[in-house]
Amino acid sequence: MAADLVLDTAIRDWVLIPLSVVMVLIGVLRYFVSKLMRSSQLPDAKIVKEGQVIIRARNLRASANFIPSKSFRARKAYFSNEENGLLFVPKGQAQNPQAQMFSDPNMAMDMMKKNLSMIIPQTLTFAWVNFFFSGFVAAKIPFPLTQRFRSMLQNGIDYSTIDVSYVSSRSWYFLNMFGLRGLFSLILGEENATDDTQKMMQMSGFGFDPSKSLGAEKDGLDIIQHEWALPKFEQRAEATLRKLIS
Amino acid sequence: MGGHDDSGSSEKKSIGVANDVPTFNAENMQNNMKAVYYCRTFMCIIGGVVAGILGFTGLTGFIFYFLVMAITSVGLIAKAGFSIHSYFDSWNQIIFDGILGGLMSFVLFWTFAYDFVHIF
């Protein structure tokens, strides 16, 4: 291991701190920009209605055991009746999802905007770091690494005698990129950029082919085994209340 | 290092209707998980800064990290009043969830503080 290096404090003042600050600020900026660019498309009333029906049916399925079987049967009939149930889809009326996709270019547009807002700042920062801060040691990682990491962490530095734990500013950039995710979730709240994409996927999957999910929900409701979970709840409530009084 | 106690106050009790039927409110459960995640991230950052200032290097730092996570787990369990099952599905969720996810944050802040205090 080489002797301990003494790094210039100017590196700290002009490389380490600005890099971290810029990364944090770019993260915040990206959050607000993606919030602004999120186009509030007016959803089709029919699709919204079907989505709500699906949610109601799902609620019924989830808590089926907490209502008496008579009530459950009534609700089930209301949803999955063969003639006019809410979940019943007449044949031939189902929309082709491909055609729907083409008729709604907004969705693809949204997706592209989201991707661009992710990629552009990253490339820009990386180019910035490469251009200004390459060719010198910027930081020391407080744990030893093997020689394998040298080409990754020390590119731009051509000394084979330096300990591998001294890294260039590019690796400091990568460390920031991965490590600041936790900080962002603390300062920006739950709606992080990474979470956003997942939510987006869910949303688009949700309203994508409503007739199909209606059918699936109907099948799910049909095969559910009803078993009332609270057969003696009156007695139990009485006991609890009596215990409260006495 | 008492920060893990105050941010867990948003935990809500899931409704225990019947003793034999597993009942829980999915939203409240999610909220609990979110609270745990916040506590862990917070402790990662604080722990990283502390480890850097104390000048831990190598394996000591990682041991310190797992120690901090263990303390956080104990704090969360104490916050839940030692009755895990009224707030969470299982013990795993409170003890092991999100330990590896916070490692990068920890390493970042560890390096940051270590460089500031000991290298420059």
Burial B96-109 (b: 16+ CB within 10 A, else e): eebbeebbbbbbbb
From B47's Cα to the closest Cα of chain A, the distance in A is: 13
Distance from CA of B42 to the nearest CA of A (A): 8
Domain count, chain B: 1
Report the alpha-carbon distance of residue B116 to residue B1 in Å, rounded. 21
| Residues of chain A found within 8 Å of residue B45, distances taken between Cβ atoms | 182-183, 186
Q: Would the CB atoms of A142 and B58 count as touching at under 8 Å?
A: yes
Question: Mean pLDDT of residues grouped by 10 in chain A (246 residues)?
Answer: 69 88 88 75 74 82 80 84 71 55 65 76 88 83 80 72 81 86 80 51 51 75 78 82 89
Per 3-state DSSP, chain A is made up of helix, strand and coil in percentages (nearest 5) of 65, 5, 30
In the structure, what pLDDT confidence band is assigned to residue B13 with cuts at 50, 70 and 90? Answer: very low
pLDDT-based confidence at residue B18 (cuts at 50, 70, 90): very low
C-alpha distances (whole Å) from A163 to each of A15, A99, B30, B53 are 20, 60, 45, 22
Quick check: B37 and A229 CB within 8 A? no
pLDDT band at residue B44, thresholds of 50, 70 and 90?
very high
Element (H or E) spanning B77, and its range?
Answer: helix B59-79
* Nearest chain B CA: its distance from A138 CA (Å): 9
Residue B115, chain A, CB below 8 Å: the answer is: yes
Question: Above 80 in pLDDT, residue B70?
Answer: yes
**pLDDT of A205:** 47
Which of A172, A179, A230 has the CB atom closest to B104's CB atom?
A179
- Closest Cα in chain A, distance from residue B38 (Å): 7
Distance separating alpha carbons of residues A196 and A37, to the nearest angstrom: 13
The answer to whether residues A114 and A198 touch, using CB atoms and an 8 Å cutoff, is no
**Lowest-pLDDT choice from A216-220, B2-6, B41-45:** B2-6
Q: How far is B78 from chain A (nearest CA, A)?
A: 23
pLDDT band at B14 (very low <50, low <70, confident <90, very high): very low
pLDDT of residue A103: 58
> Is B58 in Cβ contact with A186 (below 8 Å)?
no
Nearest by CB to residue B119, choosing from A7, A172, A182, is: A7
Note the pLDDT of residue A98: 55
What per-residue confidence (pLDDT) applies to B15?
Answer: 41
* Residue of B58, B59, B120 with shortest CB distance to A9: B120
Query: How many Å apart are CA B28 and CA B30, to the nearest integer?
Result: 5
Residue B87: domain span: 3-119
Return the DSSP state at A63: T
Q: What is the pLDDT of residue A97?
A: 54
Interval B42-60 mean pLDDT: 91
- Give the span between the Cα atoms of B16 and B89, in whole angstroms: 13
C-alpha B85: how far from chain center = 18
Q: What is the mean pLDDT of chain A?
A: 76
User: Considering chain B, what is the average pLDDT of its residues?
Assistant: 78
Q: What is the pTM of this model?
A: 0.71
Q: Which chain A residues are within 8 Å of B61, Cβ to Cβ?
A: 142-143
Contacts of A16 in chain B (CB under 8 A): 112, 115
Q: Name chain A contacts of B108, Cβ cutoff 8 Å.
A: 175-176, 178-180
Tell me, what's the pLDDT at A146?
78
pLDDT at B50: 93
Q: And the tokens for B38?
A: 């916040």
Other Cβ atoms closer than 10 A to B32: 24
Instruction: Kindly state the average pLDDT of the residues B46-64.
Output: 91
The predicted-structure confidence for A203-237, as pLDDT tens digits, reads as follows 554 445 556 777 777 788 788 777 777 777 788 88
- Identify whether the C-beta of residue A159 lies closer than 8 Å to the C-beta of residue A2: no
